[in-house]
Structures are given as structure tokens and as C-alpha cells.
Structure 1
Amino acid sequence: MNYAKQQEQAVRVLIIEDDLRIAEVNRRFVEKVSGYEVVGIAANMEEAKDQLELLQPDLVLLDIYFPDMNGLAFLTYIKEHHPDCDVIMLTAAKEVETVVDAIRYGVYDFITKPLIFSRLQETLRSYQEYQGKIRAWREEGETINQEEIDQLIRGKGMKAPKESKLVKGIDRITLEKISSFLMQAESATTDQVSKETGISRSTARRYLEYLVAMGEASADLSYGVVGRPERVYRSAGKS
């Protein structure tokens, strides 16, 4: 296998989620991260098995609660029939035994809903580093040393999510709520964001401009028939 060529290719992701609205939001989040491509979305067990076989994804984002299956049980199916495919659990489940079982069955990470983009982004970037290390070690030879083994076993090379420092007056939960709304909407004005989130128009504008300054959103002017032009915001993934 040409690992140098493989490294240039995007990580191919299959999303297994029965709520198609949530699945679409997850797709947009994943594809905001450079080097990732969502190749399919499956809403039930039959679709998931078919797409795993046909698409041969590198990574699966897997929920736990489905009408026709249990995600943990399906995780064992993936590990048995598609051992080269990695799995990130993305679910509302938070029970201790569920988390422990998922780790025991070999998930790369376990992320709870509601999904926060920065948390997923950190994991996806660490997964790229993890795969990059494996490719490099394979190219260099057949053996690795104890330090390198420790990197694989202890957290698979993952880094703890960094708590980015927010400027004064910016609340993380409100910021993530607005960011998620922009990801779902084609575009949004300050008034629309204000109504959707229940915050004042001035506060909505401050958060939107903060996202623009951070490179997470873009802004443009919309000229109506009458009146002053209005700023329209879009998520950076849609710019």
C-alpha cells in the first residue's frame, strides 16, 4: 500500500444516525474540518451494513439509540466485520456502563450530545495525527519502540480538548448555540439570530461579529428594495 498517497486522501466518514436533521448538521460539522469527507449517512441497521460494505469508510460516527438496533451492539459488528474502520460514538447516552462498554469495545472517542463543534473538531484533528503517526511508522519499518507504543495505547495520541479563552462578555454556551444555528441555516441576519436564540439584537450582533473575527463565520451586505443594507452572516463552512 502506498501510505504517502493515502495520507493525501481525505478521511472518509460514514454517519450512522436515525435523525436525518441531526445527521445533516453532523455532516456539515465534519466537513468544516479540513481533510474529511462524509461519504454516506445511514438511518438504520440495514442501511448501515450496506454502506459499510459498499463505501468502506475510514471512520464511523455512531449513535446508540435506534428504533431497530443498539449502537453498542452494532459497534461490535463493525469491529468484527470491518476491523480497519474506526468509530467515534456520538450520542445522548451518558450512563457509566454505556461509556465503559464503548471504550472496552474499542471506540476512538465518546462524545455526548448536544454536539459542540469545537469538541468534535479537536477529536477529528487528533485522529488525523493518530493516523499520520501510524502511516509514518509503517513506512519507517516493522517495529516501533516503547514510547511509540505508549502513544498508541494511552489515549491513541489524543490531546485533551483545549479550553480556548473567550473575550470578556462572550459566553461559550451562547456562542455554540449561535454557531450551530448558522450551520443549519443557509444564512441569517441579526434579527433572525436574535429571535432564534432569545437574546437581544445587540447581543446577537456582538456574538456574530465575534464569530466573524474568529474566522468561524463570514458577513456580507444584503441590499433590499428600500432602506439601509443589512449584514447577512454565514457559517465559515458555507462561505
Structure 2
Amino acid sequence: MLNIVIAEDDYRVAGIHEEFLAKVKGVQVIGKSLNGKETLELVENHQVDLVLLDIYMPDVLGTDLIHNIKENNPKTGIIMITAATEKNMVERSILNGVFDYIIKPVNIERFVTAIEKFKKTRTALETKKEFDQSFLDKYFGYTAMKTTTEQKTPKGIDPITLEKVRNILNETSKGITAEEMGDKMGASRTTARRYLEYLISVDEGKAELEYGIVGRPERKYYLYGKTS
């Protein structure tokens, strides 16, 4: 059973988060705090597995509490649940090792997913003696990134080849024809054109007609922001 503390100065919001937690098996709220002082007292006097921490507390910033919470118990996880979107707040939270960062108003599915992920991670850390790359890829999000990329590219568009086309386009500010792209990527002009036109379809690139020495128009492709 995971012991959770809700550190939130708005008791109504804390109540909503407690209702969300009621939908997750294997967790229990052992305390709610309205300020930083109460939060630290709960962490110091109880075995707390996870703190749901707001940033804008009446007596202290939540980002300043992270170190104190971890100092008391390095294994206590922290999920920021806050309206703070400022770069310095997000950056400080991430660099200080929070498990997740959720911006208010909270979506219940996003909330529950974060809690379930924390549960699975904590269970793995407590039961496994060694970890393989597959687990670490899932934890650090690489599996999700790969899945998202594969889902976004249609049949006939290979993600690795697409990235190669992007890199080639990024190296030139003068544009490139389908034939030139085919030569650089080691493929036919038809294949190169398919990838180039795909980039246009997803608003990553554009094409312009340019006239050569003999007056024949050439269709040249650019990444946005790379036009000469």
C-alpha cells in the first residue's frame, strides 16, 4: 500500500485529488497539508511514499520543499501538481528529481496514469535486483517516443529514412530537388519525392518552383525557416 500526502493549500482542490486517488487501487492518503510546515511534519512523522506537491504554498514555494522532503527520506517520490508554468519553476522541479509534473486544472486520466506509473516503478525498484534496457527505456520514455513516431508516419514512410531526409534538408538553405535528394539519400527520385511531399503534408516543409538556366522550372524543397 502506497502512503500518499496531498500538499495543497486549497482544501477543495485537495478533496478533488483525494477523490481521484480513490479510483486507484493500492494507495491511501495518510494526510493532507495546507502549507509547507504541515507538509514537512507529515513527512517527518510518517512513512510517506509519495507527496503530491503544489508550488504556491502560503509559507514557502513547493520547489523549496523538495530538498527537505528528500533529505528526510530519499525514497519519497514527488509529483508536482500546480498551476505554475514558468520556466524556472518547471526547470527547478525537474532538476531536483520530481517524478512527474502536472499542470492544473488536472485531467483525471493524466492524474491516474501518473499514480499508476509511480506504483509500477516503485514496485520494480523494490523487487528487482537488476534492470534490463527494456525497463529503463520504458521508464525514461524512449519506448513511448518510438511508438508515437511509428504511429505518426504512414505506410511507405520509414521514420529513420524520414529523419535522414530532414537532416539533408537542414544542411542546405538553397533548396533541393527530388533528384538531388535521391542522390544524397541513395534512393530513387520517386522515393525522395514521396518523403519530401510528406514533409509538406505535415507542415514541416514547402516547395517552390524555380527556373534554371534553360528556363525549365524546377521544384525545390525546403524545411520551413531554411529558404535562402
Interval of TM-score (by shorter of Structure 1 and Structure 2)? 0.5 to 0.7
The answer to whether the 8 A contact 1:126-1:158 is kept is no
For 1:38-66, what per-residue CA distance to the aligned partner results, in whole angstroms no more than 9, with x for missing partners?
11001112211111111221000000001
User: What is the aligned counterpart of 1:87 among 78, 88, 100?
Assistant: 78
Specify the alignment match of 1:104 in structure 2: 95
3-state SS in 1 of match to 2:81 = strand
Q: Which runs of 5+ in 1 are unaligned?
A: 1-9, 163-239
1:150 Cα deviation (Å)? 4.7
Q: Which runs of 5+ in 2 are unaligned?
A: 149-228
3-state SS in 1 of match to 2:48 = coil
The amino acid of 1:94's aligned partner reads: T
Q: Greater RCO between the two (CA within 8 Å, min separation 6)? A: 1
Specify the alignment match of 1:72 in structure 2: 63
The answer to whether the 8 A contact 2:5-2:51 is kept is yes
Output the TM-score relative to the length of structure 1. Answer: 0.56
User: What is the aligned counterpart of 1:119 among 107, 110, 127?
Assistant: 110
* Structure 1 residues 145 and 122: CA distance shift in structure 2, 3 A: closer
1:127 Cα deviation (Å)? 1.2
1:113 Cα deviation (Å)? 0.3
Specify the alignment match of 1:38 in structure 2: 29
* Structure 1 residues 111 and 27: CA distance shift in structure 2, 3 A: same
Q: Distance in 2 between matches of 1:128 and 1:156?
A: 19
Please identify the structure whose Cα radius of gyration is greater: 2
The amino acid of 1:23's aligned partner reads: A
* Structure 1 residues 88 and 133: CA distance shift in structure 2, 3 A: same
Q: Distance in 1 between matches of 2:65 and 2:143?
A: 25
Q: Distance in 2 between matches of 1:44 and 1:112?
A: 19
The answer to whether the 8 A contact 1:108-1:156 is kept is no
1:88 Cα deviation (Å)? 0.2
Q: Distance in 1 between matches of 2:145 and 2:26?
A: 18
Q: Distance in 2 between matches of 1:131 and 1:157?
A: 19
Q: Distance in 1 between matches of 2:131 and 2:110?
A: 30
User: What is the aligned counterpart of 1:16 among 7, 25, 37?
Assistant: 7
1:97 Cα deviation (Å)? 2.1
The amino acid of 1:77's aligned partner reads: N
Output the TM-score relative to the length of structure 2. Answer: 0.59
1:31 Cα deviation (Å)? 1.7
3-state SS in 1 of match to 2:128 = helix
Q: Distance in 2 between matches of 1:30 and 1:78?
A: 21
Q: Distance in 2 between matches of 1:157 and 1:48?
A: 35
The answer to whether the 8 A contact 2:81-2:102 is kept is yes
Structure 1: 4+ residue segments shifted above 6 A: 156-160
1:112 Cα deviation (Å)? 0.5
Q: What is the identity percentage for the equivalent residue pairs of Structure 1 and Structure 2?
A: 33
* Pairing 1:128–2:119 present: yes
* Structure 1 residues 14 and 48: CA distance shift in structure 2, 3 A: same
The amino acid of 2:13's aligned partner reads: I
The answer to whether the 8 A contact 1:40-1:51 is kept is yes
Aligned length: 147
Q: Distance in 1 between matches of 2:80 and 2:50?
A: 11
1:147-186 to 2 correspondence within 5 Å?
147-152=134-139, 154-155=140-141
* Structure 1 residues 158 and 58: CA distance shift in structure 2, 3 A: farther
The amino acid of 2:105's aligned partner reads: P
The answer to whether the 8 A contact 2:49-2:75 is kept is yes
For 1:187-207, what per-residue CA distance to the aligned partner results, in whole angstroms no more than 9, with x for missing partners?
xxxxxxxxxxxxxxxxxxxxx
